[in-house]
Structure 1
Amino acid sequence: MKLTANTIFITGGTSGIGRGLAEAFHRLGNQVIIAGRRKALLDEVAKANPGIDTIELDINDAAQIKAVAQEVIRRHPTLNVVINNAGIMPFDNPASGQLDDAQAVGLLETNLLGPVRVSAAFVEHLKKQPQSYLINNSSVLAFIPIAVTALYSATKAAIHSYTLSQRFMLRDSSVSVLEIAPPWVDTDLIHKSGDPRSMPLDVFIAQTLEKLATDTTEVFVDGIAPLRANVGPNEYALIAQFNQSLIDNPIPLG
């Protein structure tokens, strides 16, 4: 992916990795548009980074996603990059009978249906661009789940799986589908603590941009390579072969 001369829309762009990516791309001279729920935070980012555009978005609102996509495209017809970054990370206990159903539904709405809906809202526009990118932010937990955030980990595994399918289905278009799989980065996703086991945000952003410049499918910092290898880094080749075989030899229906 080229790192300059893009028009980039980022969900969850008011804090953490989203803001870090937004500000880094802005410094490189790209036109950046960030979305978030809270206007005060959007205004704060815009004030600190003159030129960044902002738009309010509740990622759990399907109708609002469609409206926001139309507005962003109207304002920025050269839009060619969409980064699905918004996410939440509550704790849960899969061994407990005490399920917080509202929390679980909200997590699925934000982490899984949010990126799916955002992608659907922008993909036809992206197909019309000479070269465009859909970038989904998953997690190392897509490959190595943490049991105390079992459902969060599962949503990230789902995003990884969805990205593989999305990449295959867009293989003959101008849209490249990338996946960023962060390690534990020291942000306020749970609690910004300075824990030495976490990766500093600025280091993560710098390494991620370096990888984005060369990687064509997955973008992950070197530190998570052993964890990513848990399921094999070349799984997409098998996914593509499998799906192509179904196209070449359709399953009889009825």
Structure 2
Amino acid sequence: MKITGNKILITGGASGIGLGLTERFIRENNTVIICGRRESALQEVVDKFPAVITRVCDLSVEAERIELFNWVSDNHSDLNVLVNNAGIQQWMTIADTDFFQRAKVEITTNIEAPIHLTSLFINLKSLNTIINVTSGLSFVPFTKVPVYSATKAFFHSFTLSAQHLLKSKNIEVIEMVPPALNTDLGGIGLHDAAPPVSDFIASVFQQLKEGKSQLTFGFSEAMVKASPEDLKNAFNRLNVNQG
């Protein structure tokens, strides 16, 4: 993937990793479009980076995903990069009375939405790159977030297939595999002790410049390289005293 001169759509681009990507891609002289559910959050990004283009969109709603694609097709038909970043993380147990309802929301946002967007945006003639944001938990689940971990494992598998299947359309598919970072994913304060987003962004951009198709950092790098025994041990360490 070239680093500059792109027109990029970043889902969930107003906070966390999405905001970090937005800031860096702008600094690298790209045109950036971000979408999210909250207009106020999008406006905060525009106040800081006036060049950012925004679109209010609830990606959990199929009709709004279609509207987003049609809007891009009509107004930004030269878009060449899609970043499937938006996701939610629910801390819960299977015994919770609202478990299934919350799980459905997580599955819709983390699986159905990016798969649907991928199927839509590959119809843009200009599209040449898709970046899918998975997780270190794609490889070893954290049982406090059982459905989140499973959705990211699914998305990792789908990304591997997409890398193969979209070669014929000359679309590069890149997997970005973050570890836990200091964001509000899952709830405010849950990840305060985790590494800063800025360190992760600096690392993955260096890997992009090196032409890598799987971008890792810290814990996620270790999990990608782990043996079956390493993964078993990591699972036990992550989930000690859980359940």
**Counterparts of 1:207 and 1:214 in 2: how far apart (Å)?**
11
Q: What corresponds to 2:220 in structure 1?
A: 224
**Counterparts of 2:204 and 2:212 in 1: how far apart (Å)?**
13
Q: Is the 8 A contact 1:211 1:221 kept in 2?
A: no
Q: Does 1:123 align with 2:122?
A: yes
1:231 Cα offset (Å): 5.9
1:230 Cα offset (Å): 2.9
> Residues 71 and 189 (structure 1 numbering): CA distance in 2 closer, same or farther, change over 3 Å?
same
**Counterparts of 1:161 and 1:78 in 2: how far apart (Å)?**
29
**Counterparts of 1:231 and 1:163 in 2: how far apart (Å)?**
21
**Counterparts of 1:121 and 1:22 in 2: how far apart (Å)?**
22
Q: What corresponds to 1:153 in structure 2?
A: 149
Cα deviation per residue 1:126-146 (whole Å; 9 max; x = unaligned)?
A: xx23x7101110000000110
Q: What corresponds to 2:99 in structure 1?
A: 100
Q: What corresponds to 2:128 in structure 1?
A: 132
Q: Which amino acid aligns with 1:186?
A: N
Q: Which amino acid aligns with 2:133?
A: N
Task: Give the 5 Å matches for 1:26-175.
Answer: 26-94=26-94, 96=95, 98=97, 100-125=99-124, 128-129=125-126, 132-175=128-171
> Following TM superposition, where does structure 1 have runs of at least 4 consecutive aligned residues deviating by more than 3 angstroms?
192-196
Instruction: Say how many residue pairs are matched.
Output: 227
Q: Is the 8 A contact 2:60 2:113 kept in 1?
A: yes
**Counterparts of 2:79 and 2:207 in 1: how far apart (Å)?**
22
Cα deviation per residue 1:72-97 (whole Å; 9 max; x = unaligned)?
A: 23222210000000001011224x37
Cα deviation per residue 1:107-152 (whole Å; 9 max; x = unaligned)?
A: 0000110101111121111xx23x7101110000000110111110
1:222 Cα offset (Å): 4.9
Q: What corresponds to 2:202 in structure 1?
A: 206
Q: Which amino acid aligns with 1:75?
A: N
> Residues 69 and 41 (structure 1 numbering): CA distance in 2 closer, same or farther, change over 3 Å?
same
Q: Is the 8 A contact 2:184 2:191 kept in 1?
A: no
**Counterparts of 2:131 and 2:176 in 1: how far apart (Å)?**
7
Which runs of 5 or more residues in structure 1 are unaligned?
A: 233-254
Q: Secondary structure, in 3 states, of the residue corresponding to 1:199?
A: coil
1:228 Cα offset (Å): 1.3
Which runs of 5 or more residues in structure 2 are unaligned?
A: 229-243
Task: Tell me whether 162-171 or 97-106 shows the greater mean CA deviation.
Answer: 97-106
1:217 Cα offset (Å): 2.2
Q: Secondary structure, in 3 states, of the residue corresponding to 1:124?
A: coil
**Counterparts of 1:90 and 1:149 in 2: how far apart (Å)?**
6
Q: Report % sequence identity.
A: 35
**Counterparts of 1:195 and 1:54 in 2: how far apart (Å)?**
28
**Counterparts of 1:39 and 1:135 in 2: how far apart (Å)?**
24
Task: Tell me whether 51-60 or 213-222 shows the greater mean CA deviation.
Answer: 213-222
Instruction: Give the TM-score normalised by the residue count of structure 2.
Output: 0.88
Instruction: Give the TM-score normalised by the residue count of structure 1.
Output: 0.84
